[in-house]
Amino acid sequence: MSNYPLSYKLSWLPRFLKPSLAGDRNDFAAPAATLLEPPPAQTVRLAFIGDLSAVANRTAPECAPAIAALLASADLVVGNCESPIVERPSAMVGTRLGTHHAMTELFLADALGAVGIAREKLVLSLANNHVLDQGIAGFEETVAALRRLGIRTIGTAAGGPVQRHAAGPLTIGFAAFTLWRNADESEFRAQVSMRSDPAEWLRGSSAGIDLLCAVPHWDWEFRHFPRPATRTLARRLADHGVRLIAGHHAHVVQPVERIGDTLVAYGLGDFLGTAFARQPWPGRIGAILVVDVSADGDTRGKIASYKLYSFMRLRRGLHERLVPVEELEGSLKRKVVERLSAIFSG
């Protein structure tokens, strides 16, 4: 049913237990930079978060005030909805084991309130491998729940390859897609966008868009450095006018790359834990990508600056506690700082 190669499946558990630092480390960028000087008079702030799930959170998470304030400062928050939103899971055994995802509408509403994300400022991608974990009926229930909550969506087949959403005075075009699926291909493609080739997107789809942004569900899980094929796809997206790419699926933080005028954040890790309640510490490091986009006439739609903010998901009872790396203590802080230094050494 899935499209994962055998080598990938065999490596999943070893890499989950020990996320890999192997791979090409060349030509990556700093985790923060100012790209427009002098800075524009007016900017729009976009904040990108990683995968959002209830697998590791039976109750709403706790969130450090610094993280909540950062998210509240954004004009638009963009993330990946890794768990279908259903009241009663249809895949009961898989859901209990954590192989099938599910969360309730109430959990999502409580979680967003806890982390300081206003629903009207949130855009969630449904283009991921778990979105049909509760079947087509669960997918339809998810879409309906997000509509009730006033949360905008991207990555659905019905919405087309490029979907537009306002962020302050700017119009952002989002091309969300997944390379991976956990269901039958024809069934999956009918609901979820897998259109990763920008040459196949409709001509004129970028007309009236100030910034074209890709939100791909790509690469292999639990590897800190993207595979060559992932970097090749990033260059292809950049060649077709995509100027901002924020990726998901790896479940660990990955580096940033600049390809001409295009900024690529390959992987932001999990925002709320998606791979079992208990997870080795490297997989509990997450990141929030904050991008300030110019709304000035001459530079409208260009990235003025960006910064990656790293945090840790700490276990507390039936939920997680989100804490900035700066607020960690002792040996855990040393390990996390060393891991981040290895990822961003380029």
Query: For the segment 316-345, what is each residue's pLDDT rounded down to a tens digit?
Result: 888 999 999 999 999 999 999 999 999 998
6 occurs within a structural domain = no
Give the bridge partners for 263, in sequence order.
244, 258
> If you average pLDDT over residues 21-36, what whole number do you get?
95
Which CATH number fits the domain that encloses residue 190?
Answer: 3.60.21
Instruction: Name the nearest CA neighbour of 129 among 313, 3, 242, 232.
Output: 3
132 occurs within a structural domain = yes
Share of the chain above pLDDT 90, in %: 88
Count Cβ atoms within 10 A of the Cβ of residue 66 and give its class: 0-12 exposed, 13-18 middle, 19 or more buried. middle
67 occurs within a structural domain = yes
Residue 96: other Cβ atoms inside 10 A: 11
Q: Are 176 and 158 in contact (CB under 8 A)?
A: no
14 occurs within a structural domain = no
- The CA angle 269-241-170, to the nearest 5 degrees, is 75
Domain limits for position 319: 23-343
The larger pLDDT score, comparing residue 276 to residue 200, is at 200
| Torsion-angle region of 44 (φ positive above 0: left; ψ -120 to 50: alpha; else: beta) | beta
Q: Is the pTM of this model over 0.85?
A: yes
Instruction: Name the nearest CA neighbour of 104 among 141, 157, 158.
Output: 141
Instruction: Kindly tell me if the per-residue pLDDT of 182 is higher than 60.
Output: yes
5 occurs within a structural domain = no
> Could you give the number of structural domains in the chain?
1
17 occurs within a structural domain = no
pLDDT at res. 93: 64
215 occurs within a structural domain = yes
8 occurs within a structural domain = no
